[in-house]
Amino acid sequence: MSDYPVWVNGVPEAFLPTSDRGLAYGDGLFETVRVSGGKPTLADYHWRRLQRSCEPLGIALDIERLLEEVGAFLLDNRAGDAVLKVIITRGSGGRGYNPEGCFSPRRILSLHPLPSRSRDPGLHGARVKHCQMRLGRSTLAGLKHLNRLEQVLARSEWQGNAYDEGLLCDIEGNLIEGTMSNLFVVTREGGLVTPDLTFSGVAGVCRDFIIDFARHRGIAVNEQSLSPDLEGSEVFLCNSVNGVWPVIEYEGRQWGIGSLTARIRDCVLEELNA
């Protein structure tokens, strides 16, 4: 596998035109997919979300063509264990903000090494800070669109290894998500609570998988507002590359790695290493 191979619309390409609307306006979507043994993991969740997200943006994605390109891309680059990034932009064209006439979405595939950390937060627990950056309300909440400036600014609030992740609130002060992860709390009754993402945040693939996992096993899951107090017996974060990170420290509070968190972590890890 070369360091950072990139394909654009099914062929190797190192450059994008400056007219691409993803570059000019953030006009597009992306998926970050963990690859295990050359195969995308949680693939059905990723491709369903991508298709679902294209609809409100009016991007006509040919999903079958994309999946053929993904398969060929991973095979050609002998992907092994890696991270696949899939970016879909509206392409080039239109006049200013007006996308009229843009009928050829651009499909960008790139391959990257798995994250490497000296200390594994999945095994030892994550140390988390409260970010000052607030997430705005949006009718595009839930979508993993290319406009991620809020997350960039939140992640810039710390450097070094003092924290593994930061949590963001919305403008009303409700906890929503991490800079790159979704949030779950285990209640005293043994159920799960995750923030309501109706107006802010990204509906992550790993979050969807965990909700399905829990409900199929009779574990109650509620999507509701969460205060920064984080009342619960266990707290964890998740994303589709890192899996589950139990939270052990947050703003002076501490938790152990509880049994339900460990069970979900191990299930997700098995899925990501399949």
* Active-site residue, 144 included: yes
Question: Annotated catalytic residue: which of 31, 129, 144, 194?
Answer: 144
Determine contact, residues 150/170, Cβ cutoff 8 Å.
Answer: no
* Active-site residue, 32 included: yes
d(CA 203, CA 197): 7
Q: Residue 95: which H helix or E strand, with range? A: none
Query: Which two tokens mark 108?
Result: 């960008």
Largest CA distance in the chain: 55
Burial class (CB in 10 A: 0-12, 13-18, 19+), 112: middle
Q: If we measure between CA atoms, which residue out of 179, 192, 266, 174 comes closest to residue 232?
A: 192
* Active-site residue, 100 included: no
Report CA dihedral (250, 255, 259, 265) to the nearest 10 degrees.
20
Vertex 18 angle, CA 12 and 22, to 5°: 80
d(CA 205, CA 272): 12
Question: Annotated catalytic residue: which of 31, 32, 69, 89?
Answer: 32
Strands 253-254 and 243-250: antiparallel
Question: Annotated catalytic residue: which of 69, 165, 177, 234?
Answer: 177
Active site residues: 32, 144, 177
